[in-house]
Structure 1
Amino acid sequence: MPAKLLAEMFTMAPANKDHQVAIRCAVGVFVPLITLVLLGRLDLAIFASFGAFAGIYGRNEPHGRRFVLQLRAGTLMLAVILLGALAARAGAVFALTPTGTIWLQVLATTVVAGGCSLIVAWWRLRPAGSLFHIFAFAAIASIPNQPPLGQGMLVAVLTVALSLLIGLSARVAPSRRQPWSWPRPVRLTAAERRVAWLEAVGYLVAAGLAGTLATLAGEWLGFGHNYWAMVAAVVPLVGHSTRHRISRGVQRIIGTALGLVLLAAILLLEPAPWQTVLVIAACQFGAEMFIARQYMLAQVFVTPLALISTLLVAPVPAGTLLRDRFLETVIGAAVGVAVVLAPALWRRVAAGHRSMED
C-alpha cells in the first residue's frame, strides 16, 4: 500500500485538452478582477472569484452540454454566495457573540457541505462534491466588513454570465464549432441515488468534524480560518478506491506545503493589485492544467490562488496566513482520511464480533 500510494503521488495522467480549459478559466477570473482593480473596488473581488468557479464545470463536454452544466453550476454557486453573504450578517442580526458567530458559521457550512454534495450528484456535475461550495460559503461568511449585498451579487452574476460566454467562445471558430444539442435529462438510478445520499452524509460528517476540531484547536492554539480544515476534509472523499482517496489526502498536505513556499516567494515581491490579479490568473491556469492529471502538483497552484484571493479582501499578516493554512490543512486532511477509513474499520470490528459469537 505505501509503495502504491507513493507511486500514485508522482504519476502524471495523460493530457486531455487541459490547456483549453485552463485558458478559459484564467480569462474568466482575470477579466472581472482586473475590472474591479480599475474601478477601485477590490472589496468585491471575492464575489468575482467564486462566480468564476462556474467555468470549471463541463471541462471537455460538447458546447450544448457544457452550457447546461455551467448554468446549473453557476446558479448553485450564486445561491451559495448569497447564503454566505447573509450568514455574515446573521451574527449582528441575532446579536451573537464572536464565538457564537463562529460556531454558527461552522454549522451552516456543514449543512452546505452535505446539501451541495447531494445537488451536485443529482445534477451530475463534475468536479463532484461540494468542496468549492464549502470554500465559497465559508470564505464570504467570514468576511467582517461586508460590501453592499446588491453590489456583491451583481458582480457574482456578471462573472457567472461571463464564464458561460467564455464556455461557448470556441463556437466563433468554424473549425472548432461543435454541433449544438441540448442534453437529455438522465435520472439517477436507485443505486446512484443511494450512493449520492451516502456521499452527502460523508461530506456532512467530514466537514462538521473538521470544523469542530479546527475551531477548538484554534481557540486553544490561537489560529483561525477553520473553514480551510473543512475544505481539506472533503478532499479525500472523492476517488474510485480507498487507496486513491487516502492518496488525495496526503497529496493535499504535501501540495499545500509546496504551495505555501511559492506563496511566500510571491508575497516577498509585494505585488501591486494589478500584478496580484495576473498572479491569480496564472495560478488558475496552472491549477486547471494539472487538477485532473496530478493532484499534488495542482495544489501548488491552488494554494496561492486561494490565499491571494483572500488577501485581496481581508489582509492578514503573511506569517499568520501561512501557518493557519498548513495547520488547518493537516487537521482537515486527517479527518477526511479517518472518515474514508471508518466504514472499513467498522466492518472489520463487526466481523470480529460475529466470529467471536460463533
Structure 2
Amino acid sequence: MRTVYTRVRSAMTPPMADHRPALRVALGLAVPGVALLAAGRPDLIIYAVFGAITGMYGRTDTRRRRFAHQTQGGLILVLGVAIGVALADSHVAPAVLVIAAVAFATVGSVVTDYLALKPEGPFYGVFALGAIATVPAGRVAPSSAILICAATALLAVLLGILDAPRGSEPATRLPVPDVRDVLLHASRYAIAITAAGAAGVALGIDHANWAIAAAAGPLAAADASGRIKRGIHRLAGTLIGLVVAAVLLVPHHHAVALGFFTPLIMLMTDLAKPTSPLNLLTYRGLDTIIGVTAAIAVALLLPGRERAAT
C-alpha cells in the first residue's frame, strides 16, 4: 500500500519547476483583473485571461529564448483574440466561426511546429478565437478588447524576463521539423476541428467553440498514443472540472472559481454572456465529448511517424 500511495502521490504532484510559471500566470492575470474589477468591468476580464496565458510559454527557457517564445506565443494569442473580436463584431454564423477556427489552427500548427513553442500546438490561440467570437458585440470597442489582451500579454512577457533563469544559451539549435510531418500534423487539426465544429453546429449545441477547443487540445502530442492519452486526460479533467465548477458557480462562489482553469473559463464566459450555470455545464460537457471523440478518431486514422518531442 505504501508503494502504491507513493506512486500515486508522485504522479499527482507537479514538478517544483511548475510552481514558478503558475505564479507568473496568476500574477499576470491578477493585475489586469483587479484593475478591471475596480473599473466595474468584470465582463472584460476574458480578454485579459488569454493575454495572461502568454506566461505559459517558455517556462523552462533561459532569458533570451523565453523572451522570444513568449513574444511569439503572445502574438498568436493576441491574433486569436483579434480575429475572435472581428467575428463577434460581424455577427457571423456559427459555420463561419468553424471555418475561421479551422484555418487558424491549420496555419497555427505549421507556425508553432517550426517555432518549437512549448506548450506545443495552436490550442490556446484557437481557444481564444472561439471563446472571444461568442462574446456579444457592443460591450467594448474592438480596439479596447484587443488592447486589454495585448497589454496583459506584455505584462506576462515582462514577468517572464524578470523571473528567467540565469545561464548561458544552449549551443545547439532546435531541430527543423520535417515538412511532411508538419503538413500531416496540420491536417489533423483541420480534420478534427472541422468534424467537431460541424457536429456541434449540426446538433445545435450552444458554445460549439468548446468542441473546437476540445478537438485541438490532444493533437499536440508527439505520437498517436500520446494524442489518445491526452484526449482521455482532457475528457476526464474537464468532467472533474465541471464538478468543481458546479459546486462553485451554481451557488455563485465566483472568487474561488478563479483558482481553477475550467471554472475560470466558464466564469469568464458567463460574465461576458450570462446564462444558466447548469446550461453552461451541460454544453461544456457535451462539447468536450464531441471534440475529444473527433481528436481520438483523427489520431487513429492519421497516426503518422512519431515526432521528436521539442
Following the alignment from structure 1 to structure 2, what is the Cα–Cα distance between the partners of residues 270 and 322?
14
SS across alignment from 1:51: helix
After superposition, the C-alpha distances for 1:299-324 in whole angstroms (9 at most, x for unaligned) are xxx32122112122111101100100
Distance 1:186 1:253, change over 3 A: same
User: How far is 1:42 from its partner?
Assistant: 2.3
Pair 1:303 & 2:295 matched: no
Following the alignment from structure 1 to structure 2, what is the Cα–Cα distance between the partners of residues 306 and 334?
21
Aligned to 1:21: 21
Aligned to 2:275: 316
SS across alignment from 1:315: coil
Following the alignment from structure 1 to structure 2, what is the Cα–Cα distance between the partners of residues 90 and 180?
48
Aligned to 1:336: 295
Structure 1 segments, 4+ long, off by >3 Å, are 10-14, 183-189
After superposition, the C-alpha distances for 1:245-281 in whole angstroms (9 at most, x for unaligned) are 212112222211111110111113323xxx53x642x
| Max Rg structure | 1
After superposition, the C-alpha distances for 1:174-207 in whole angstroms (9 at most, x for unaligned) are xxx61475x8995763x53322221111111111
User: How far is 1:341 from its partner?
Assistant: 0.6
**Amino-acid identity (%):** 31
Distance 1:311 1:184, change over 3 A: farther
Aligned to 1:290: none
Aligned to 1:162: 155
Following the alignment from structure 1 to structure 2, what is the Cα–Cα distance between the partners of residues 179 and 15?
21
Q: Is the 8 A contact 2:223 2:303 kept in 1?
A: no
Aligned to 2:75: 75
Distance 1:180 1:165, change over 3 A: farther
**Match for residue 122 of structure 2 among 106, 127, 130:** 130
Aligned to 1:288: none
Following the alignment from structure 1 to structure 2, what is the Cα–Cα distance between the partners of residues 170 and 236?
29
Pair 1:234 & 2:221 matched: no
Following the alignment from structure 2 to structure 1, what is the Cα–Cα distance between the partners of residues 167 and 57?
19
How many residue pairs align between the two structures?
A: 296
Following the alignment from structure 1 to structure 2, what is the Cα–Cα distance between the partners of residues 169 and 89?
37
**Match for residue 215 of structure 1 among 201, 216, 232:** 201
SS across alignment from 2:207: coil
TM-score w.r.t. length of structure 2:
0.88
Q: Is the 8 A contact 2:201 2:208 kept in 1?
A: yes
Aligned to 1:259: 241
> Which one-letter code corresponds to 2:301 in the other structure?
A
Following the alignment from structure 1 to structure 2, what is the Cα–Cα distance between the partners of residues 344 and 68?
31
Following the alignment from structure 1 to structure 2, what is the Cα–Cα distance between the partners of residues 184 and 149?
43
Q: Is the 8 A contact 1:57 1:126 kept in 2?
A: yes
Matches within 5 A, 1:260-279: 260-271=242-253, 276=255, 279=257
Distance 1:36 1:241, change over 3 A: same
Distance 1:198 1:188, change over 3 A: farther
> Once superposed, what is the RMSD of the aligned Cα atoms?
2.5
> Which one-letter code corresponds to 1:206 in the other structure?
A
Q: Is the 8 A contact 1:64 1:180 kept in 2?
A: no
TM-score w.r.t. length of structure 1:
0.76
Distance 1:14 1:158, change over 3 A: closer
Q: Is the 8 A contact 1:114 1:203 kept in 2?
A: yes
User: How far is 1:236 from its partner?
Assistant: 2.6
Greater RCO structure (CA 8 Å; 6+ sep): 1
Flag structure 2 segments of 5+ consecutive residues without an equivalent: 1-6, 305-310
**Match for residue 102 of structure 2 among 105, 110, 113:** 110
Matches within 5 A, 1:150-189: 150-170=143-163, 178-179=166-167, 186=173, 189=176
